[in-house]
């Protein structure tokens, strides 16, 4: 049974997938104080939030069972992603479900701002019939500057074109060609700020975007510019905006988001030029149902089959690439798991070689799985897809990926090599059609075995009688050999035996094998 905590209000229809799934114990508590949440979080496998709950490093340090955080929305600035990654907790969001709603809200804000609708409404509610005070401006032929042309920014552009506005956008990923195709202009941030009559922000809140609109930015703008922020508080420096409005540089601002939320005691609210909503961009029935369904499906899928559609702290792999590399996932992990048992020294370097058809793919998920397999021996189940590379890096292990198109007679070959202070060990595997993973090389020796069950690797001297001695000693201890592979460097030289046996080998049993003079090293590996 998985315990799921829903800590912010989610659409009841949207959480139906969770209710319908087996083994999910859902607790909905949207009124927890930060302290109460800290006290409870240790019981839960999954946490579902919106923008309200602050998922801090401190909270995560108490989340001993937590495996996944689902953000029913886009922005994840309320979640300490580094801490989640370090704890091996995957974070998923719902990037597409509220795009329309946020874009529509932005348009509503632009129109309300341009026609002073909230101010006129308030005045009328106060029984004043004032037709002179609330003169607006048309949007037609005005320039809308869009900062951040992602999903929402692009939807706003399409809608604003319907209002016959001219659009100019700035986004680090916006090419002139893409802007031309959308029928909009593009420019640098400075050009956009200088050209626009209305400016709307649609970036995430990041280190680079914090106070993107500050005193200097306001100075660049046209007098009488109007500002809209339905993205995140903190992208606009609120003190600078206040000054710009008071000095009449900025004629008006429409704000859905604030540096501190919830906020009521903010001097911006005292200005008649400021209209505001309490972070309602995504608050529609449709968006809430859609984002809740998306995160619930990812939570179920992660807890049951270990895969997600919208990871935030794990690179997402395009579906077509995933279908190509998926068959290798298991083998990549097994190669790592096997190899780490061939050394007792500290691993300093991991090299992963992709040959043949594998070299054509984006293989980083396979490298991650290999590293996960390697680290598991010493870190146990604490290591997972999310934190494997981070944990390796923190231990000072360097990781290299290498690719070649030829695979020495195999269609595909995945070789993993580890380096320690004094030794280098490696293992190679391939995927045989219909037969699954086979390990075909251990160090310089050619072998062929299925990486499954109880494996014993023996390095010995190539001399007559060694195999016989070893076989009869194992027989005396009632250990049955299921399969056996032997290879050697040259006659009478170094050799290897790979046995698969029917039970786990205890240390005393391994010691018996090590007592055979010609045997140099013995490793037992349970895969
Ligand atoms: N008010 C609300 O309720 C909602 C607010 N949001 C906010 O809107 C933001 C945008 O959402 P989406 O469009 O879905 O995200 P997105 O990821 O599709 O788009 C963000 C765009 O910002 C651009 N960007 C990043 N740094 C930039 C910079 N320094 N200057 C200019 N552009 C920059 C990125 O290249 C990207 O194209 C979210 O991060 C979230 O914070 C989203 C949904 C609802
Ligand atoms: O999706 C986003 O980024 C939002 O800002 C929406 O926030 P909310 O889920 O309404 O608290």
| CATH, domain range 99-276 | 3.40.50.720
Q: Which atom of ligand 1 is nearest to the CA of 204?
A: 39
For 48-95, the three-class secondary structure string (H helix, E strand, C coil) is: EECCCCCECHHHHHCCCCCCEEEECCCCCCCECHHHHHHCCCEEEECC
**Span 346-364, pLDDT tens digits:** 899 999 999 998 898 889 9
User: How much is the pTM?
Assistant: 0.80
Q: Which atom of ligand 2 is nearest to the CA of 71?
A: 9
**Residue 264 pLDDT class (50, 70, 90 cuts):** confident
Compute the mean pLDDT over every residue in the chain, rounded to the nearest whole number: 93
| CATH, domain range 2-96+286-305 | 3.40.50.720
What residue ranges do the domains of the chain occupy? 2-96+286-305, 99-276, 319-526
Residue 390 is predicted with a pLDDT of: 87
Lowest mean pLDDT among 5-9, 280-284, 387-391, 444-448: 387-391
Which bound ligand lies closest to the C-alpha atom of 187?
1
- Mean pLDDT value across residues 464-493: 89
Coil/strand/helix, residue 228 = strand
Residue 316 is predicted with a pLDDT of: 67
Residue 127 is predicted with a pLDDT of: 98
- State if residue 425 touches ligand 1 by the CB under 6 angstroms criterion: no
Residue 289 is predicted with a pLDDT of: 98
**Span 381-408, pLDDT tens digits:** 778 888 899 889 888 899 999 999 887 7
Complex ipTM value? 0.99
Residue ranges in 168-261 assigned as alpha helix (H): 176-182, 189-195, 215-220, 238-246
Q: State yes or no: pLDDT of 322 exceeds 90.
A: no
**Residue 235 pLDDT class (50, 70, 90 cuts):** very high
**Span 328-346, pLDDT tens digits:** 989 999 999 999 999 988 8
Residue 324 is predicted with a pLDDT of: 81
- State if residue 419 touches ligand 2 by the CB under 6 angstroms criterion: no
Q: Could you tell me if 59 and 83 are in contact, meaning their C-beta atoms sit under 8 angstroms apart?
A: no
- Mean pLDDT value across residues 297-313: 89
| CATH, domain range 319-526 | 3.30.1330.90
Residue 131 is predicted with a pLDDT of: 95
Q: Could you tell me if 479 and 501 are in contact, meaning their C-beta atoms sit under 8 angstroms apart?
A: yes
**Residue 103 pLDDT class (50, 70, 90 cuts):** very high
Spatial separation of the C-alpha atoms in residues 481 and 474, rounded to whole Å? 8
Which bound ligand lies closest to the C-alpha atom of 169?
1
Q: State yes or no: pLDDT of 321 exceeds 70.
A: yes
Question: Is there a catalytic annotation at residue 232?
Answer: yes
Residue 138 is predicted with a pLDDT of: 98
Q: Other C-beta atoms within 10 Å of 339: how many?
A: 26
Question: Is there a catalytic annotation at residue 319?
Answer: no
How many angstroms separate the alpha carbon of residue 48 from the centre of ligand 1?
21
Domains 2-96+286-305 and 99-276 share a fold: yes
Spatial separation of the C-alpha atoms in residues 208 and 235, rounded to whole Å? 9
Q: State yes or no: pLDDT of 429 exceeds 70.
A: yes
**Span 11-49, pLDDT tens digits:** 999 999 999 999 999 999 999 999 999 999 999 999 999
Burial of 56: CB neighbours in 10 Å, binned 0-12, 13-18, 19+: middle
Active-site annotation holder among 261, 357, 401, 518: 261
- Mean pLDDT value across residues 494-522: 90
Active-site annotation holder among 202, 279, 425, 460: 279
Q: Which atom of ligand 2 is nearest to the CA of 52?
A: 11
- Mean pLDDT value across residues 199-216: 94
Q: State yes or no: pLDDT of 415 exceeds 90.
A: yes
């Amino acid at each position: 049974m998985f315990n799921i905590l829903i800590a912010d209000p989610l659409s009841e229809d949207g959480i139906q997938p969770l209710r319908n799934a087996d083994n999910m114990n859902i607790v909905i508590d949207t009124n927890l104080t930060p302290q109460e949440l800290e006290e409870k979080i240790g019981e839960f496998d999954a946490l579902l939030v919106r923008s309200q709950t602050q998922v801090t490093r401190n909270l995560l340090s108490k989340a001993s069972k937590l495996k996944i955080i689902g953000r029913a929305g886009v922005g994840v600035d309320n979640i300490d992603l580094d801490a989640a990654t370090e704890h091996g907790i995957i974070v998923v969001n719902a990037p597409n479900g509220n795009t329309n709603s946020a874009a529509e809200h932005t348009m509503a804000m632009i129109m309300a701002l341009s026609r002073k609708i909230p101010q006129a409404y308030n005045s009328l509610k106060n029984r004043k019939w004032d037709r002179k005070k609330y003169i607006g401006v048309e949007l037609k032929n005005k320039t809308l500057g869009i900062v951040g042309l992602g999903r929402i920014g692009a939807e706003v552009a399409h809608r604003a074109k319907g209002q016959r506005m001219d659009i100019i956008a700035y986004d680090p990923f916006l090419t002139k060609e893409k802007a031309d195709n959308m029928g909009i202009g593009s420019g640098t941030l400075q050009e956009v700020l200088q050209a626009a009559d209305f400016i709307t922000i649609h970036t995430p809140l990041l280190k680079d975007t914090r106070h993107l609109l500050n005193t200097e930015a306001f100075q660049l703008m046209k007098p009488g510019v109007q500002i809209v922020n339905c993205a995140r508080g903190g992208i606009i420096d609120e003190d600078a905006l206040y000054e710009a409005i008071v000095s009449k540089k900025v004629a008006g601002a429409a704000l859905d988001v604030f540096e501190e939320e919830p906020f009521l005691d903010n001097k911006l609210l005292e200005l008649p030029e400021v209209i505001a909503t309490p972070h309602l961009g995504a608050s529609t029935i449709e968006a809430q149902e859609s984002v809740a369904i998306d995160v619930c499906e990812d939570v179920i899928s992660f807890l049951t089959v270990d895969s997600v559609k919208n990871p935030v702290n794990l690179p997402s792999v395009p579906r077509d690439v995933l279908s190509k590399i998926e068959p290798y996932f298991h083998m990549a992990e097994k190669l790592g798991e096997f190899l780490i048992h061939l050394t007792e020294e500290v691993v300093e370097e991991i090299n992963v070689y992709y040959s043949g058809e594998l070299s054509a793919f984006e293989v980083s998920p396979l490298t991650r799985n290999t590293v996960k397999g390697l680290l598991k021996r010493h870190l146990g189940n604490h290591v997972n897809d999310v934190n494997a590379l981070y944990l390796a890096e923190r231990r000072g292990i360097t990781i290299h990926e290498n690719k070649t198109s030829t695979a020495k007679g195999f269609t595909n070959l995945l070789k993993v090599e580890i380096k320690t202070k004094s030794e280098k060990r490696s293992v190679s595997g391939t995927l045989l059609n219909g037969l699954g993973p086979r390990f075909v090389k251990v160090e310089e020796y050619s072998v062929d075995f299925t990486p499954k069950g109880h494996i014993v690797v023996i390095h010995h001297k190539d001399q007559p009688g060694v195999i016989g001695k070893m076989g009869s000693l194992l027989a005396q201890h009632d250990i049955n050999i299921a399969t056996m592979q032997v290879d050697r460097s040259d006659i009478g030289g170094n050799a290897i035996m790979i046995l698969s046996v029917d039970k786990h080998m205890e240390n005393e049993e391994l010691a018996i094998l090590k007592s055979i003079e010609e045997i140099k090293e013995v490793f037992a590996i349970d895969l």
